Amino acid sequence: MRKQKSERKRKVQKSLKFHLIYTACVVCVPVFLALFFIVNVSIFLIQEKIAEDSREMLSMNVQMMDEELQKVSSYLKEDNGVSPEMEGFLSGNQWEEYKSEVSSFQKMEDIILRFRYVDNYICYLPKTGKSICRFTENSGDFNLREAVKKEIKENPKEFYGTGDYWKNRKIHDTNLLMCSWGNEDVILCAWTTYDSMMTLTKNWKKTKGSSYCITSKDGEVYTDLPKEMHDLDFTRDKDGYYFSGEYDKYLIIREESSCSDMQMVRIVNRRDLLGALWTIRLLNVAIMVVFAFLMLPHLFVTLQKYIFHPIDLLEKGIREVEQGDLSVKIPADESSTEMKHLITSFNNMVGQIGELKIRNYEEKMEYQKLMLDYMSLQIEPHFYLNALNLINTMAQMQDTELIEKMTENLSLYFRYITSSRNKKVTIGQELEHIGHYMNIMMIRFGECFQYEEKVDESLYSFLIPPLLIQTMVENSMKYAFDVYGDTRIKVEIREETGEKNYVVIQVSDNGKGYPQEIISRFEEEIPMEGTHIGLWNAKMRLQHLYPNTSKFLLSNQEPQGAVTTIIIEETEEKKA
Domain harbouring 460, CATH code: 3.30.565.10
Give, in degrees to the nearest 5, the angle at Cα 419 between 418 and 423.
125
State which amino acid sits at residue 31: V
Structural domain including 434 reads 377-574
207 and 249 share one domain: yes
Query: Of 267, 294, 321, which residue is a domain's last?
Result: 294
92 and 161 share one domain: yes
Region 332-360: mean pLDDT is: 76
Helix (H, G, I), strand (E, B) or coil at 232: coil
pTM for the whole thing?
Answer: 0.43
28 and 151 share one domain: yes
247 and 339 share one domain: no
237 and 339 share one domain: no
The answer to which of 53-62, 326-335, 343-352, 477-486 has the lowest mean pLDDT is 326-335
Report yes or no on 372 lying in a domain.
no
Report yes or no on 1 lying in a domain.
no
Are the C-beta atoms of 307 and 281 separated by less than 8 Å?
no
Kindly report, residue by residue over 146-201, the tens digit of the pLDDT: 888 888 888 888 888 766 788 898 888 888 888 888 788 788 888 888 888 887 77
314 and 267 share one domain: no
Report yes or no on 309 lying in a domain.
yes
Query: Of 367, 385, 408, which residue is a domain's last?
Result: 367
Number of domains in the chain: 3
Q: What is the mean pLDDT of the chain?
A: 78
Closest by Cα among 274, 290, 316 to 40 = 274
Report yes or no on 399 lying in a domain.
yes
Report yes or no on 147 lying in a domain.
yes
pLDDT of residue 275: 63
335 and 474 share one domain: no
- Distance between CA atoms of residues 369 and 359, nearest Å: 15
The answer to which of 203-212, 276-285, 395-404, 505-514 has the lowest mean pLDDT is 276-285
Q: Which residue has the higher pLDDT, 348 or 335?
A: 348
Report yes or no on 178 lying in a domain.
yes
284 and 299 share one domain: no
Q: For 380-418, b where at least 16 C-beta lie within 10 A, e where not — what string? A: eeebeeebeebbeebeeeeeeebbebbeebbebbeebbe
Region 388-408: mean pLDDT is: 82
pLDDT at 523 over 90: no
342 and 427 share one domain: no
Which residues are CB-contacts of 279 (< 8 A; sequence separation ≥ 6)?
none
186 and 235 share one domain: yes
Kindly report, residue by residue over 445-477, the tens digit of the pLDDT: 877 788 899 999 989 999 888 888 988 998 888
322 and 454 share one domain: no
Query: Of 232, 263, 294, which residue is a domain's last?
Result: 294
421 and 503 share one domain: yes
Strand 487-496 and strand 449-455: pairing?
parallel
Kindly report, residue by residue over 63-108, the tens digit of the pLDDT: 888 888 888 888 777 765 555 555 555 555 556 555 666 666 666 6
